[in-house]
Structure 1
Amino acid sequence: MTHSIITRLEAAATATEARLVAALKDVPLPGEILRPERLMAAMRHGALAGGKRLRPFLVLESAALFGLPRQQALTAAAAVECVHCYSLVHDDLPAMDNDDLRRGQPTVHRAYDEATAILAGDGLLTLAFDLMCDDATHPDPKVRLALTRGLARASGVGGMVGGQMLDLAAEGRFSGPDGAAGTPLALSADEIITLQSMKTGALLAFAVEAGGLLGQADAPARTALASYGRALGAAFQIADDILDVEGSAEAMGKKVGKDAAAGKGTLVSTLGLDGARARLATLVEEAQQALAPFGAQAETLIEAAYFVAARQN
């Protein structure tokens, strides 16, 4: 991993942060009546607390393959990040993962309260679609429509939200029709892969595909990006599962060891650490091979795959 990927990640994060700051101002937009001060503060707490900004980085870098300057892809990148941030706010809630820390800071429901956190997540989610429909995203309304639909499907019932439901069910969080307590499910490796491809992978994969939509790429190029995005999303989740076992709370900025405590099925628990590492290496190789049609232009995205596998937080 070179210094170049870190520099480009930081530059993308800085640009995304500035776009989010602009979108999260207290001043109401045309068609809005009022932006409640407490709600906006909670939304900013959930969205402006730092982080790698990997998903907007992927939007920007994949769009760059087709000659789009960063500024022209930035609104779409910010929209994707709003969905990601909303999901973190809701994942941290007592009804979900019940976390106190996120990125080394109190989670939104701890910094404010549970009801405000729910509404802050709702606000970030709906803001994402407001941004994606904005003329600033792309001058062609057909492109904006394709982006909006793609984001909805990646983040909705057949993607991130559905994956979270499967994850909760696997933990035994739901009682049966007779009121009996739920029991954790022993998922197969294939079932875990499906769950993770929805909960984590779908939005990461869409971030890559969004760059192709913005750049109005042809079908072969979009197919290559989709293959890369799927491999990258799967690699990201395996790396996360490994870090939950081996990482530190200080480096992660949140609790570790949660998967085992919750009885959660992961590829680490199913394949073991060595098996999970082997699959991670295979996925990184798949990601690299998917970008072969782009040649040297794809060097940054290839480095991103190695970064995802080697990250410490």
Structure 2
Amino acid sequence: MAAEGAPEAGASRAGEFQELRSLLFAIAYRILGSVSEAEDAVQETWLRYQATATEPRSAKAFLSATVTRISIDVLRSARVRREEYPGPWLPEPLLADPYADPARAAELADSLSTAALLLLERLSPLERAVFVLREVFDFGFPEIASAVGRSEAAVRQLVVRARRHMDAGRPRFEAGRAERDELAGRFLDAFRDGDVDGLTALLAADVQLVGDSGGRAPRWAERFVGAENVGRVLADLLALFARIDGTLEPRQVNGRPGAVFRDRDGKVLNTWTLDIRDGRVQTIHTVNNPDKLRHLGPVGDAWATLREATSAARPTD
């Protein structure tokens, strides 16, 4: 009888795992800031679930705890690599959160933003994990304590400390979604239309342009500050982009207005995420590292694209 029941038990576990897969990815991505590492953590969670001899009382509790522990371990080793990362490090862009909870859509989108994920980088791996489980997904303290192997009292202290760090780094006032989308639309339209004046008029005086190339793409926008400097870079980029017949695809990137840039063959070159506040673009985060773009589809050769654009700009005899 046990042998006959084994396939049924396996099928049942597979069904439970698939139902919870989007939640597991959502937890792992917020802890890790990496699509590829989050997917690996989810897959490892499934392998451990398969190999568990006893049936957990709660599949959700077991799987959430397992993916959290795996993500903490991965983040600890990733921290060393990020310290040695060439240039600014940004999270891998996510166009759509597979964990869709309409009742908490705005709250979940806020926790996905590039700005929020960069704030989470300030926390220890343990603080980051308990903050994500408690503040984003509203897990109870007993569940979190079991997941991270700490007492409930210790978890409460970790949450308080993490919340304090996050609150200290957040801007006091943020634009609402409607305002963000309207201004971002005007900004991206200006870029698409080649309207340099329209672009610069929407930049905050202390705007920042931060680019993540990881040494794997042209470092054209590693870090620029100020409307004049950023405006100059955008004007140069606009001219280069026009020469290679590139396309701009407005998208929500990490729950914020942004865009995917493609070459003439439709291959991804980079992504933008726009932080908007006080009626101006405050920060443009651009991911150019091809290793961080592969999950979005075929990736273009940024070096070849730059050579083509530069060559087209040279005067001919």
Give the TM interval when normalised to the shorter protein. Answer: under 0.3
Structure with the higher helix share, 1 or 2: 1
TM-score, normalised relative to structure 1:
0.27
Mark the structure with the bigger radius of gyration: 2
Structure with the higher strand share, 1 or 2: 2
